[in-house]
Amino acid sequence: LKEGEVSEAQPVASEASAAPKAEAAPAAAEPAKSSAGGASLSPSARRAVGETGVDASQVEGSGKGGRITKADVLNVASGGGSRTEKHVPMSRLRQRIAERLVDAQHQAAMLTTFNEVDMKPVMDLRNRYKDQFEKVHGARLGFMSFFTKAAVEALKRFPAVNASIDGNDLIYHNFFDVGIAIGSPRGLVVPILRNAENMSMASIEAQIREYAERAQTGKVTIEEMSGGTFTITNGGTFGSMLSTPIINPPQSAILGMHNIVERPVVVNGEVVVRPIMYVALTYDHRVIDGRESVLFLRTIKEMVEDPARLLLEV
């Protein structure tokens, strides 16, 4: 911002002089006043203080030598306050999350594959039965139960996605403990749906809701977050269109759900508008081949687009 200009004083002529004298030197500009803290104010900053009523002693100067500028005053006046920093120690949970994410980046050969899901069949089914579902089961019918069921069926068909590495061995798990990533004030927590293959859609929805409520008050236990053979994360709840989620070690894969957006697609040779969700599978290429990852994600797509198959397990 341009500093205010100070006009020069006009020269003063002598009243009694036979010959004109040299003009007097211009008067020096008035020194800038200082704030109570000792920092000097530029002329424009001084005017801004008068106009806004800001206490100059509360303004931190950003100019040369700590000089307070007009911008500094206006920043405080607009509620911006001083440009301060606050150092806060990371919580133990945040430290642990950071360690595991870095370990995943360093240890796994991560790659992500994508697909898109037409959500219309599931949305139609949900809209048709959600009220009755909640009345009978006491739980709201969301999309997580559909994707959890679809993931379990896909994991049965592609066991490597449910496997993990132990040294030079591959461990194939004959059970399906699905982690559900949940945001909380303390950070991301991933409680486990134990033996998800034996859970009904109602029990899945009820358990996720319970975890989500307890996560907000930090009451999800370490035991409830330990283990897990596969993870599902839903960035769509925050409006994410696409992402490459990071594997939760020692697991070998993670499914990423995203927001649902109406897009033009071709159906039976005609362009129609459908609610589309992009899905992502990040996998450890040391364990899972590209073919398996693509077919796994395609299986989830097919299951969700034809939800009757989830009930028939076909």
For the stretch 257-290, pLDDT in tens is 999 999 999 999 999 999 999 999 999 999 999 9
Mean model confidence pLDDT for the chain: 86
54 pLDDT exceeds 80?
A: yes
Which tokens hold the place of 236? 């769509």
CA distances from 32 to 40, 42, 66, 142 (A): 6, 6, 13, 65
39 pLDDT exceeds 50?
A: yes
Which tokens hold the place of 106? 């360093």
Any idea which residues carry the catalytic annotation? 285, 289
Q: Would you state the pLDDT for residue 83?
A: 57
Confidence of residue 29 (pLDDT cuts 50, 70, 90): very low
- Say which CATH architecture domain 92-312 belongs to: 2-Layer Sandwich (3.30)
Q: Would you state the pLDDT for residue 305?
A: 97
Residues 186-195 pLDDT 10s: 888 999 999 9
Give the homologous superfamily in CATH for domain 32-87: E3-binding domain (4.10.320.10)
81 pLDDT exceeds 70?
A: no
Cβ 248 vs Cβ 231: under 8 Å: yes
Comparing C-alpha atoms, which of 163, 183, 174, 188 is closest to residue 252? 163
Q: How many CB atoms lie within 10 A of CB 309?
A: 16
Comparing C-alpha atoms, which of 309, 283, 308, 285 is closest to residue 296? 283
Choose between 181 and 77: higher pLDDT.
181
Q: What is the 3-state secondary structure (H, E, C) of the chain?
A: CCCCCCCCCCCCCCCCCCCCCCCCCCCCCCCCCECCCCCEECHHHHHHHHHHCCCHHHCCCCCHHHCECHHHHHHHHCCCCCCCCCCCCCCHHHHHHHHHHHHHHHHCCEEEEEEEEECHHHHHHHHHHHHHHHHHHCCCCCCHHHHHHHHHHHHHHCHHHHEEEECCEEEECCCCCEEECEEECCEEECCEECCHHHCCHHHHHHHHHHHHHHHCCCCCCHHHHCCCCEEEEEHHHHCCCCCCCCCCCCECEEEEECCEEEEEEEECCEEEEEEEEEEEEEEECCCCCHHHHHHHHHHHHHHHHCCHHHHHCC
Average pLDDT over residues 57-83: 79
For the chain, residues classed under CATH 3.30.559.10 are: 92-312
Cβ 212 vs Cβ 181: under 8 Å: no
- Strand-pairing partners, residue 163, are 172
Choose between 95 and 279: higher pLDDT.
279
Q: Would you state the pLDDT for residue 289?
A: 96
* Among the ranges given (14-28, 30-44, 169-183), the one the predictor scored with the smallest mean pLDDT: 14-28
Rounded to an integer, what distance in angstroms lies between the CA atom of residue 70 and that of residue 92? Answer: 43
Residues 122-179 pLDDT 10s: 999 999 999 999 999 999 999 999 999 999 999 999 999 999 999 899 999 999 999 9
Choose between 149 and 311: higher pLDDT.
149
Cβ 46 vs Cβ 32: under 8 Å: yes
17 pLDDT exceeds 60?
A: no
For the chain, residues classed under CATH 4.10.320.10 are: 32-87
